[in-house]
Structure 1
Amino acid sequence: MNYIELQLRLSPDYTDILTAELAELGYESFVETDEGVNAYIIEPDFNENAIPELIAKYADQTAIAYEVNSLEKRNWNAEWERGYEPIEVADQVRVRASFHESDARFRYDIVINPKMSFGTGHHETTAMMMEQQLGFDFSGKSVLDVGSGTGILAILAAKMGAENVLAFDIEEWAVENARENAELNSCPQVTVFQGTIADVNPTSQYEIVLANINRNVLLAEIPTYTSLLTQNGQLVVSGFYEHDAADIEQKAAESGLALTNRLTTNQWTSLSFNKR
């Protein structure tokens, strides 16, 4: 059976939103690109009229361009396996798929089978989030992972000694994937649910909050993350470009957070804060 490839060129702030919308339309897998995202759906399920309707829905918010291609039938698992290489972070973390052998040189060995979810470590924001985590003491800590995707950040937190990790995502397939990956990595202290930050118990307290999302969500939710942090708790964020960092820092400062570290790779940025 042939597949349809939909290539979307859009602002990174809207990548997650459009991915969620396309998943509702039956698209099965997604690949982030430098220009946006490519989405894939089997040819019989493709509705050409649905794409202009979806783009029109966001026309007054952002510019979106698209292109549709028909792809010949192929072994997608074989294609994915051939192109998926292990990722190494700061000489301490190695992220691999289950078909790769482990490497004893690395302190943390993480197995991630991403399916449709983002967060394999290949994207700069995910790698920077993990590098930031390596500078923290997770031993016995309570951790919140916002928009968990594959669960990679939650799994690293667990492997670094976190006592309990609560992770969530709005997408059902991401939640299932994160649960599977937590089990693959023998991390029973990771709990994953489907929902948003509004579904987290407001009386809960976490010593570390991880949020790799996008600029708009972060600006809206940083005050909530701060309220969930213990005194001297730490917040780590990414998912935005370097030119957006000032806005993130300002919102964090207004919420009572102090900047403690900044990482930048290929114009993407990650910031960590301490609750004063």
Structure 2
Amino acid sequence: MADLVKKHFYKITLTIPEEFQEMSSALLSDFPFTGIEDEFDEQSFTIEDVYWDNGNIANQLLSILESTSIPAEIKDIMIIEDQNWNAIWEESLEPVQVNESIVITPIWKAHQIESPIKIIINPQMSFGTGYHSTTRMVCRKLQEYVGANSHWIDAGCGSGVLAILAEKLGASYIYAFDNDEWSIANTKENIHLNNCTSITVEQESIFSINLPQVHGIAANLYRNLLIPNIHKFAKALEDSKGVLIMSGILRFDEQEIIDCAVQHNFIHISTEYEGDWTAITMRYNP
């Protein structure tokens, strides 16, 4: 029997500012990529060689992004051999120690972990692991502010880590939402893995949703989603005069976010930094 021909792939790395990456992923979702990797200010798209079309596909990506005013340039193109990508990726994921009491761990390494608060997730390559520095910062802030029997919102829940942590910290009701159907599916899976019973999950857009009254909100969202919707967060905290924990914010956007929130009757409590990212905590105080 003839040997099977081994597949080859092209990995196209583009420089794309982090705040545009969610939008670029959506715009390019019709291409037959086998993987997308997000890094700080760059995205990599891997595609099988049968779709390479003598490199024309790279120019197609740039053309689509430029047509929507997303700044992008080709940084690198490389050829890679076929491998068991999922196995390699899974092996690279280690449990993340958020602090002395909180650990986020992939399900296949959960048995190795002993921690006061253990969050078990089934990470997905397509949209994230819950390991980003913004998630870690919000986790630490939730530990400060979630009270027994409190009600919370997880805005842009992703893998559901923040909603799960809120329940483990004592919240009796958490409303989690995201506009991405795969995020919703993964959040529900992770809720089941952690035996959570107090989380309601819905696929909703932040621009059209009506938020319930709560004691606190964790909003791990980009600047372009936070600023137009801070008035909604204020309304959801009217009764409790509660806290708003915002992340997904780059350092150079920090003051703009604070100023916008102050205009909606929030007062600034604290800002935490990790690398180029910030987490801002504010309280509604009309």
Q: Distance in 2 between matches of 1:95 and 1:248?
A: 28
Structure 1 position 228 matched with structure 2 position 231 = no
1:185-240 residue CA offsets vs partner (Å, 9 max, x unmatched): 111222222221234335x2121111111112111111111111233211100112
| Deviation of 1:169 (Å) | 1.5
Q: 2:61 aligns with which of 30, 51, 55?
A: 51
SS of residue in 1 equivalent to 2:215: strand
Q: Is the 8 A contact 2:18 2:40 kept in 1?
A: no
Q: 1:248 aligns with which of 232, 252, 257?
A: 257
| Deviation of 1:41 (Å) | 4.3
Moved more, 162-171 or 241-250: 162-171
SS of residue in 2 equivalent to 1:186: coil
Q: 1:209 aligns with which of 208, 217, 222?
A: 217
| Deviation of 1:68 (Å) | 4.0
- The 1:157–1:253 alpha-carbon spacing in structure 2 relative to 1, beyond 3 Å, is same
Q: 1:117 aligns with which of 127, 135, 140?
A: 127
- The root-mean-square deviation of aligned C-alpha atoms, in Å, is 2.1
SS of residue in 2 equivalent to 1:193: strand
Question: Which is greater in Rg?
Answer: 2
Q: Is the 8 A contact 1:8 1:38 kept in 2?
A: yes
Moved more, 107-116 or 27-36: 27-36
Q: Is the 8 A contact 1:164 1:189 kept in 2?
A: yes
Q: Distance in 2 between matches of 1:205 and 1:45?
A: 49
TM-score scaled by structure 2? 0.87
- The 1:41–1:140 alpha-carbon spacing in structure 2 relative to 1, beyond 3 Å, is farther
Q: Is the 8 A contact 1:212 1:238 kept in 2?
A: yes
- In structure 1, the residue matched to 2:16 is 10
Q: Distance in 1 between matches of 2:235 and 2:18?
A: 27
Q: Distance in 1 between matches of 2:184 and 2:136?
A: 20
- In structure 1, the residue matched to 2:25 is 19
Q: Is the 8 A contact 1:20 1:171 kept in 2?
A: no
Q: Is the 8 A contact 1:209 1:225 kept in 2?
A: yes
| Deviation of 1:77 (Å) | 1.9
Figure out how many residues of one structure are paired with residues of the other and give that number. Answer: 271
What amino acid sits opposite 1:211 in the alignment?
A
SS of residue in 2 equivalent to 1:237: strand
- In structure 1, the residue matched to 2:166 is 157
TM-score scaled by structure 1? 0.90
Q: How does 1:117-156 map to 2 (within 5 A)?
A: 117-121=127-131, 123-156=132-165
What amino acid sits opposite 2:227 in the alignment?
L
SS of residue in 2 equivalent to 1:192: strand
Q: Is the 8 A contact 1:102 1:109 kept in 2?
A: no
Q: 1:64 aligns with which of 68, 72, 79?
A: 72
| Deviation of 1:119 (Å) | 4.4
1:25-78 residue CA offsets vs partner (Å, 9 max, x unmatched): 34454322123222344555668164133212233xx42113444432111121
Q: Is the 8 A contact 1:119 1:151 kept in 2?
A: no
Q: 2:266 aligns with which of 257, 265, 268?
A: 257
- In structure 1, the residue matched to 2:4 is none
Q: Distance in 1 between matches of 2:20 and 2:251?
A: 17
Q: Distance in 2 between matches of 1:70 and 1:193?
A: 40
- In structure 2, the residue matched to 1:95 is 104
Q: Distance in 1 between matches of 2:30 and 2:233?
A: 28
Structure 1 position 188 matched with structure 2 position 216 = no
Q: Give ranges in structure 2 of 5+ residues lacking alignment.
A: 1-6
Q: Distance in 1 between matches of 2:79 and 2:202?
A: 35
**Identical positions, percent:** 25
1:11-30 residue CA offsets vs partner (Å, 9 max, x unmatched): 11101111222334344543
Moved more, 64-73 or 21-30: 21-30
SS of residue in 1 equivalent to 2:268: strand
- In structure 1, the residue matched to 2:3 is none
Q: Give ranges in structure 1 of 5+ residues lacking alignment.
A: none
What amino acid sits opposite 1:144 in the alignment?
I
